[in-house]
Chain A
Amino acid sequence: MKQDIILAGVGGQGIISIAYVIASAALEEGLEVKQAEVHGMSQRGGAVQSHLRLSRARIWSDLIPLGEADLVLSVEPLEALRYVDYLRPDGMVITSRAPFLNIKDYPDVEMLLGKIGEIPHHLIIDSEKLAKEAGSSRTQNMVLLGAAAGSLMVREESLTRFIRVLFERHGENIVTVNLKAFALGQAVAAAAGFVPGSGGKTGK
């Protein structure tokens, strides 16, 4: 069993935090993990992505092959579409609907969402609103992680444990806000009837 996930967003949106939480949970559950990320120049307000691979068997490539990804998890709709080439034919996209507007030629948002809507397994969530509801607009990444939690091959309790570890040094209040954001994401995915487990696949 394996799961290949592309995490996407814009530099500063907290992609690496999502990756840290899932990867740490996977490691604790005895899975093999590889996670390729972007540092340096492209981090500065540019498109960023992380290739996160979890498996019970040995993982070779640090990069996910085109056509192998089970999930694109994105904090931004334009960035979600940028990586659909990585998805296997029945792969899924979970994305925020909130555009990050820092370029002049940003496409029409409804067009973007319509395109994402063509993907058989997709979930578009208003992570901006939910993050504010949780107490901080900076927790959109944790809302998205919550929305994906039921579809990941790691246990949801492991994820919340490492959210705690990640934010501990910033104080209990920040931990609570992020856990709330995670829970709101979970609830939205459940309410949408998003089928957990469609991401993991057997074989290999």
Chain B
Amino acid sequence: MKLEILLGDEAVALGAIQAGLSAGYSYPGTPASEIMEYLIKAAARTKSFLASWAVNEKVAYEEALGVSFAGKRALVSMKHVGLNVAADPFMNSALTGANGGLVVVPADDPGMHSSQNEQDSRFYADFAKIPCFEPSNHQEAYEMTRQAFDVSERMGVPVMIRLVTRLSHSRSTVRPREPRGQNEIRPGASQDWTLLPVNARRRFRGILDAQADMVRLSEESEFNSLRLNEKDRSLGVVASGIAFNYVQENLGEAGNPPSLLKVCTYPLPRKLISRLVEHVETVLVVEEGYPLIERSLRGFFGVPGKTIKGKLSGDLPLTGELSPETVRPALGLKPLDRLDLGKFQLASRPPQLCAGCPHADTFHALNKALRGFGKGTVFSDIGCYTLGAYPPYQAVQTCVCMGASISMAKGGAEVGIRPSIAVIGDSTFGHSGLTPLLEAAAADTNMTVFILDNGTVAMTGGQPSYASGERLLKMIEGVGVAKEHIRVIEPLPKNLDKNALIIKEEIDHPGLSVIVAVRECLEEARKKRRSG
């Protein structure tokens, strides 16, 4: 078949489609969004499978689990922190097992390019005791996804594909293979899928018993490879995923390359690793993310007679993403010569709200309204409006996780923060804001919630939002917020004074208020104009 140039995310999506996918679900989040973007476009073209944005990652995971229960193949993707949201169904799906192939694809963000942490999803696979593939390039992302569906159906467990930003958002070529068809409906057995203690104990035993098979699969995987240097036994390198590329990039010029083991499957292939460790004096472990392989190798007491190097030993950085430069000194190589302009400082250019963004008008009005009050707190959330933390607004003081603005504002208000204000976007509200608002409404907490309804998931490229427009207003009313304290404003420069006054009134109200700031995202409006 024809060679295609694809993002790493898209290679996974294409692999899933050609493995006979019946349905894919996801919630937008960098760097995973392009998996679902690709699936949705392909589904619209072929009309042969379903691809859909979910209201959050937990719902996405459960929808995929329902598809797997039905005997059909499902893919669920999310950014790494999205797997925290889906952790409940994820952990339990290891016990229900998969009926139709179930593949979960978290995309990690080492270096935190667009995230609030750099957690390593391989630990989740280890925690749930399911197999995990970690592609090092685009062709592998495609092949591993296809194989993940096979493994999932053969072993009856969900399988993880772990991506990282630099693969998700890098383009390269993929040669696809012949696609295969979908499964017929064949629902799962209720004694396996009903996790009452009596069933769950048996199922847990089952996945423990399957570990040896998973390790064997890893030992035999074509994605792992070992090259031993018979003459020089001083150094051996274990490299996984894209870290393998950084090692190879640097070894390109080395005349006497160290022994090298590429590991891209989990649970770890113990025998393969021991063949390398026995062969060399010093083992360097190079992996993107937290030191999972290094920790497994080192244990509490190390390997007698061997030196283990990596992130824990300080030979590689424990934080941030790897790069050819960070790996180079660990391999004992000198930095490359480069153009030298001497030392100079450059002003940084952090991301910022677009000129004319409705959020900017909301923040100006909020800041103006707050001038008459003492030192309160504006709890913010995940979205473009988090950029309100930067000058010139400096309007928000927190950003933690999806939905936390409302829950934290409630907690803060309950111990005396005045005014206690939450700022959340429409899609984030649909994701995780509704439940804390239900609580705040029941308690009539003295706080003010802003829902910034721009009608889209803007930060990740304009995916559809469930909790927008009329439905959003009905939701707010439906959880029991007093109608007279649900205020709608239009954030525009000309409305600054009027909006600030409304905000002030609602902050003065000693109970719960919700202010909905309604104005379409500029970028989305522009896109609509362009496509006519």
Contacts and interface: CB of A to CB of B under 8 A. Distances in A.
A197 interface: no
Interface stretch (B162-170, B263-271, B400-408, B443-451): B162-170
Interface in B311-326: 323-325
Interface residues of A, number: 55
Given A11-B351, A104-B391, A88 B337 contact: yes
Given A41-B113, A44-B351, A89 B340 contact: yes
Interface stretch (B42-50, B242-250, B432-440): B242-250
B8 to A, nearest CB: 9
Nearest to A204: B252
Interface residues on B, range: 35 or more
B460 interface: yes
Contact of A44 (B113, B324, B337, B459): B459
Interface string B152-195: 00000000000000110111110000000000000000000000
Contact of B324 (A35, A65, A104, A106): A65
A166 interface: no
Contacts of A61: 245-246, 248-249, 323-324
Interface in A64-83: 64-68, 78-79, 81-82
B135 to A, nearest CB: 12
A110 to B, nearest CB: 14
B142 to A, nearest CB: 15
Given A67-B337, A104-B391, A34 B172 contact: yes
A184 interface: no
Given A42-B113, A44-B351, A66 B324 contact: yes
Interface stretch (B80-88, B341-349, B410-418, B492-500): B341-349
A34 B245 CA distance: 12
A35 B7 CA distance: 9
A94 to B, nearest CB: 14
Interface string A155-173: 0000000000000001000
Contacts of A66: 324-325, 335-336, 338
Contacts of B351: 11, 41-46
B341 A33 contact: no
A40 B30 contact: yes
B386 to A, nearest CB: 8
Contacts of B246: 60-61, 63
A132 interface: no
Most buried by A among B33, B340, B347, B355: B347
A43 to B, nearest CB: 7
B354 A35 contact: no
Given A39-B34, A60-B245, A78 B347 contact: yes
B352 interface: yes
A36 B351 CA distance: 19
A10 B339 contact: no
Nearest to B338: A67
A52 B351 CA distance: 22
B530 A170 contact: yes
A32 interface: yes
Interface in A5-39: 10-11, 19, 23-24, 27, 32-39
Interface of A: 10-11, 19, 23-24, 27, 32-47, 59-68, 78-79, 81-82, 84-91, 102-107, 115, 118-119, 170, 204
11 contacts: A23-B5, A32-B173, A40-B33, A41-B459, A42-B114, A44-B351, A47-B348, A60-B245, A60-B252, A78-B347, A102-B355
Given A37-B171, A44-B351, A62-B166, 18 more contacts: A23-B5, A27-B173, A33-B5, A34-B171, A35-B171, A40-B114, A44-B459, A45-B351, A46-B349, A65-B325, A66-B325, A66-B338, A67-B338, A79-B349, A84-B339, A88-B339, A89-B339, A90-B339
Interface of B: 3, 5, 30-31, 33-34, 113-114, 166-167, 169-173, 242, 245-246, 248-250, 252, 323-325, 328, 335-341, 344, 346-355, 384, 387, 391, 459-461, 530
